[in-house]
């Protein structure tokens, strides 16, 4: 059984329906499967199976029954079934290369037409850090140009901290959505900012979002500790899988049993000792990769391919991919607007063909989209504006102290009042920022610094 939560639920439901050729209603399914689903969640899962063509529907309203979809029943249920799934061509996708198109065509075939494959150590062994490159030099250069931030010369993690509130929502939502989570972005924002659970969502979906929030905060608030190493990946897994695994003891631990991949003919490695060795090899190779984009992409390829954990492997890889971006103050990768089908096709292409072209196209498109969300916004601000956000309180205190102390607007006076929290590398720009604020101070904006009109008048005269 595949241990990805939603995929597992779908598999259990399919098996239960397959055991009832004459059909079974939703209430009976709820009792028989013992998945602990709410009625509305069950309806969503069943609707998804119908859309995917795995099951059929007979009857309407209270008389509705779900039947296994076989060649003999397909015609019988067609009249009463909901409209068929949107054709692949009409689903959201991204522009892809001819090589990626070939992968997409292969993985879109029915499973019985695809060759079953096991984990191939040769795929990993063929990669030599800083010599092999999944991302061509030209693409890496383009990604660097896109991802550079105004916070480039500041301590690691600065850029991610500057946009943390948006990143928490966007990455938590988009990464969860790629797992089939039905929270909207607005619901995600309410959950993260206000602690409000969305109506009609089951506890697992809510838990998934909150786990992402914790894992992102872990990376952003301690960038010096967030390195590509086993401990960081175990920590990410523990945070992302909290409350979502059948056995809590498996959080942050290499799996000890075999897993299968829903919708794929790929069978990951099963021996625990081999898994330990391969996991160490993947992490060591990744840690040696100097280019942050190549390092991020390598993790997105090889962590899901190895499936070192019982579940949550792809989520771990998506957050691990952000480690080099956080450390190098590059735009983080939020996966916002990435079509689920494109991502799934790309991952299966890695699983079954060991080909990365489609995932590379998805990665490059996703990164460009993230940069539009974050870097474009940041670059409309000159660097001192980022400084203003960081030292907002200190800035207000110094401006107010100059005015109330009736001191002239000189760099020497500002220097004498520098608060201790202003870091040495920021002091010159901070002083310039204070001087700019003092030069533009007037009765209409003095309230920003808690100054009364009379105080300002006294200072100006």
Domains along the sequence of the chain with CATH: 5-82 (1.10.10.10), 98-379 (1.10.3290.10), 383-460 (no CATH)
Residue 449: per-residue pLDDT:
85
| Average pLDDT across the chain, whole number | 85
Distances (CA, A) of 326 to 1, 81, 90, 163, 216: 35, 48, 36, 11, 10
- Reading phi first (left if > 0) and then psi (alpha if -120 to 50, else beta), residue 156 is in beta
User: What does the alpha-carbon distance between residue 293 and residue 321 come to, in Å, rounded to a whole number?
Assistant: 8
C-alpha span between 293 and 32 (Å, rounded): 47
Cβ–Cβ < 8 Å for 162, 389: yes
Determine the Cα–Cα distance for residues 131 and 353; give it in Å rounded to an integer: 22
Percent of the chain with pLDDT over 70: 88
What band does 83 get if pLDDT is binned at 50, 70 and 90? Answer: very low
CA distance 211 to 243: 9
Q: Which of 63-67, 196-200, 347-351, 419-423 has the highest mean pLDDT?
A: 347-351
Distance CA 306, CA 120 (A): 9
Residue 78's pLDDT is what?
Answer: 39
Q: Which of 336, 364, 360, 340 is nearest to 349 (CA)?
A: 360
pLDDT of residue 279 exceeding 90, the answer is yes
In whole angstroms, give the CA distance from residue 81 to residue 59: 9
Residue 266: its H or E element: strand 266-267
pTM for the predicted model, two decimal places: 0.65
Q: In sequence order, what are the beta bridge partners of 57?
A: 66
Q: Can you tell me the mean pLDDT for 359-376?
A: 88
Q: Quickly tell me which residue has 């037409």 as its tokens.
A: 113
The rounded Cα 213 to chain-centroid distance in angstroms is 10
Strands 266-267 and 117-118: parallel
Nearest to 176 by CA among 207, 218, 220: 207
Confidence of residue 206 (pLDDT cuts 50, 70, 90): very high
Distance CA 218, CA 189 (A): 19
Q: What was the pLDDT predicted at 67?
A: 84
Average pLDDT over residues 125-135: 97
Q: How many angstroms separate the Cα of 58 from the Cα of each of 75, 81, 213, 341?
A: 11, 7, 42, 28
The Cα–Cα gap between 405 and 411 comes to 15
Cβ 133 vs Cβ 294: under 8 Å? yes
Residue 252 Cα to chain centre, angstroms: 18
């Amino acid at each position: 059984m595949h241990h990805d939560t939603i995929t597992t639920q779908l598999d259990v439901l399919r098996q239960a329906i397959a055991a009832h050729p004459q059909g079974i209603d939703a209430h009976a399914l709820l009792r028989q499967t013992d998945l602990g689903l709410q009625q509305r969640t069950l309806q969503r899962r069943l609707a998804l199976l119908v859309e995917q063509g795995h099951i059929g529907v007979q009857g309407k309203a209270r008389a509705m029954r779900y039947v296994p979809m076989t060649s003999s029943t397909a015609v019988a249920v067609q009249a009463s079934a909901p409209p068929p799934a949107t054709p692949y061509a009409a689903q959201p996708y991204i522009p892809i290369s001819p090589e990626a198109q070939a992968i997409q065509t292969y993985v879109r075939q029915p499973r019985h037409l695809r060759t079953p494959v096991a984990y191939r150590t040769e795929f990993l062994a063929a990669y030599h850090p800083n010599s092999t490159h999944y991302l061509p030099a030209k693409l890496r250069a383009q990604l660097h140009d896109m991802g550079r931030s105004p916070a480039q010369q500041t301590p690691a993690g600065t850029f991610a901290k500057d946009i943390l509130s948006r990143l928490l929502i966007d990455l938590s939502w988009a990464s969860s959505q790629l797992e089939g989570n039905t929270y909207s972005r607005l619901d995600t924002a309410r959950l993260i900012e206000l602690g409000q659970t969305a109506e009609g969502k089951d506890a697992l979906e809510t838990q998934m979002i909150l786990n992402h929030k914790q894992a992102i905060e872990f990376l952003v608030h301690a960038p010096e500790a967030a390195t590509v190493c086993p401990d960081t990946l175990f920590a990410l897994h523990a945070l992302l899988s909290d409350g979502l695994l059948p056995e809590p003891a498996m959080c942050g631990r290499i799996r000890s049993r075999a897993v299968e991949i829903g919708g794929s003919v790929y069978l990951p490695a099963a021996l625990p000792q081999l898994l330990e060795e391969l996991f160490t090899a993947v992490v060591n190779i990744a840690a040696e990769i100097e280019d942050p984009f190549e390092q991020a992409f390598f993790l997105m390829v090889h962590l899901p391919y190895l499936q070192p954990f019982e579940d949550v492997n792809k989520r771990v890889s998506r957050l691990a991919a952000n480690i080099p971006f956080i450390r190098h103050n590059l735009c983080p990768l939020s996966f916002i607007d990435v079509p689920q089908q494109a991502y799934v096709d790309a991952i299966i292409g890695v699983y079954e063909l060991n080909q990365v072209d489609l995932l590379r196209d998805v990665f490059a498109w996703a990164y460009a989209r993230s940069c539009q969300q974050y870097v474009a916004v940041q670059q409309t601000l000159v660097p001192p504006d980022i400084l203003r956000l960081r030292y907002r309180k200190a800035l207000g205190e110094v401006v107010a102290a100059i005015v109330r102390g009736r001191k002239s607007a000189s760099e020497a006076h500002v220097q004498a009042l520098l608060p201790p929290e202003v870091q040495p590398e920021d002091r010159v720009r901070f002083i310039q920022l204070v001087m700019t604020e003092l030069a533009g101070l007037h009765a209409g904006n003095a309230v920003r610094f808690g100054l009364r009109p009379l105080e300002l008048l006294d200072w100006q005269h």
